[in-house]
Amino acid sequence: MPPVAGENEHPILHRPYLVSRLSCDCSLAVALECADEQEQAMKHKIIIDTDPGIDDAMAIAYAVAHPDIELLALTTIFGNVRTDEATRNALALLDHWGVSADVAEGEPAPLSMPANQPSYLVHGRNGFGGVDIPASKRQKHALDAVDYIIEATRRYPGEITICAVGPVTNLARLLERDPEVVSRLKSVIVMGGAVHRKGNVTPMAEANFWNDPDAADAVLAASWPLVLAPLDCTMPVVFTPDFMQALARENPALGTPLAAMAEFYARFYRSHLGIGGCVPHDVMALSWLTVPGAFRLQKGALAVITDGPAIGQTLFQPGGTRSRARCFDGRPDHMVMVDTDPEMFMADYMMVMTQHAR
């Protein structure tokens, strides 16, 4: 574990991979200023498109804690809760954790189908398993989620990653409103779907894609740098009660509310799936940026069934293969995270949270 900077030491001094790249004849003050600039440039600028949500809160906490992530904003969407509730929860979490990132409200309903009921059974009536997070006094951003993303990608062309961890209606509307945005985004990471596994809301469908299959199909058809994090990579990881209690001890500010929320979340997993803990689905969309070695990838074309008994099912055609399925015609290949090293993933999450508290 790297040493902790003392009170009178610049923290960059403990990141020698940055300092070593500076000219040896620079003064220390100039060197530190240059290192600060380099470190900032190396950070991942992200917008999390979210429906908070307990596992959303776990993902947001990771973004807040990670030194290599710059959280620009949360954009909100329906799913675990209604969109207005997602906005309230996003503002409350950020205020509770002392984070000034923007919150822009997204679409209130799917592209074309009636909205499903929120996942209160899984996440509790307030989205946080009944854990009280004080309401924020801040207001949501004046721009809606789609216009916020458009403006942000024009300000930072080629620098922003969108981590979408709810239904992807906002992303589908983004493609409609500004098709050129695909060339201004660094990457898009979507937590959704189930490729080689069964679904979690129907035998075929994962919740995010089931909540707006038309949007999911449009997003997967687009030619942008997309990585999919389906149930294949999320279900191998279980945050046990012991893990969550350790998280609360190591980082009380972030970990204590997460551990309390996880108690409700884990009861659902225990009663419905027989799992002794909870699955941190949404964190995968961020961990791909920071610990990609924890995941196994497969490349291929993707589509989503938009009606009938299998609505929301993810279809996958591996790269380099052909079939008579016309739904893949003209579609780009995307990277899919098909498996996870649970020990590496959990060690990284705990390390990031622990070091943040120091």
Query: Of the candidates 241, 220, 240, which has an alpha carbon nearest to the alpha carbon of residue 229?
Result: 220
Q: Which of 10-24, 84-98, 247-261 is least confident?
A: 10-24
User: Which of the following is catalytic: 66, 123, 141, 281?
Assistant: 281
Residue 341 designated active-site: no
Give the three-state DSSP class for 240.
Answer: coil
Ramachandran sector of residue 174 (left: φ over 0; alpha: ψ -120 to 50; beta: rest): alpha
Candidates 3.90.245.10, 3.40.1120.10, 1.10.274.10, 3.40.50.2300; correct CATH number of 45-356?
3.90.245.10
Structure tokens that stand for 121 in this block: 């059974």
> How sure is the predictor about 322, in pLDDT bands with cuts at 50, 70 and 90?
confident
Q: Is 51 a catalytic residue?
A: yes
pLDDT at 101 over 60: yes
Q: How far apart are CA 186 and CA 168, in angstroms?
A: 18
Name beta bridge partners: 205: 313
Banded model confidence at residue 5, pLDDT cuts 50, 70, 90 = very low
pLDDT digits (tens, 9 = 90+) for 204-259: 999 999 999 999 999 999 999 999 999 999 999 999 999 999 999 999 999 999 99
Q: Which residue has the higher pLDDT, 55 or 14?
A: 55
Over residues 263-284, mean pLDDT: 96
Residue-range domain boundaries for the chain: 1-42, 45-356
Most confident among 7-16, 30-39, 185-194 (mean pLDDT)? 185-194
User: Model pTM?
Assistant: 0.89
pLDDT tens, position by position, 33-73? 544 555 556 899 999 999 999 999 999 999 999 999 999 99
- Tell me the mean pLDDT in the region 251-277: 96
Q: Is 307 exposed, middle or buried (0-12, 13-18, 19+ CB in 10 A)?
A: exposed
With a cut of 50, say whether residue 4 has pLDDT above it: no
| 8 A C-beta contact, residue 31 and residue 43 | no
**Predicted pLDDT of residue 39:** 54
* Residue percentage of the chain with pLDDT more than 90: 86
Q: CA–CA separation, 37 vs 155, rounded Å?
A: 18
Residue that the structure tokens 């149930």 belong to = 231
Residue 335 pLDDT greater than 50, yes or no: yes
- Residue with tokens 């969550």, as numbered in its chain: 244
Q: Kindly tell me if the per-residue pLDDT of 313 is higher than 80.
A: yes
| Active-site residue, from 51, 56, 212, 214 | 51
Supply the pLDDT for residue 41. 62
